[in-house]
Amino acid sequence: MMEYKRITVNPISGAMGAEITDIDLTSGIDSETWIEIQDAWANYLVLIFRGQDLTDQQQFDFTQRFGKLIPHPYVKGIPEIPEIFKIIREPGESYSWDGFYHSDLMFLKKPPLGATLYAKECPPYGADTAFTNMYLAYETLSEGMKALLDGLEGENESGNPEKYSNKYQSMEELGKKGAMGAVHPLVRVHPVTGKKALFSSLAFTKRIKGMTDKESAPILSYLYEHSIQAHLGCRLEWEKGSLALWDNRVCLHHAVADYFGEVAKHRRVMQRATIEGEEPISIKKYEAMQAK
Q: Which residues are catalytic?
A: 102, 104, 253, 272
- C-alpha 138/C-alpha 251 separation (Å) is 12
String of b and e for 88-105 (b: at least 16 CB within 10 Å)? bbeeebeebbeeebbbbb
Beta bridge partners of 48: 19, 244
Output phi, psi for 9, to 5 deg: -115, 120
Rg (CA), the chain: 19
DSSP-derived secondary structure for 251-292: EEEEE-----TTGGGS-EEEEEEEE---PPEEHHHHHHHHH-
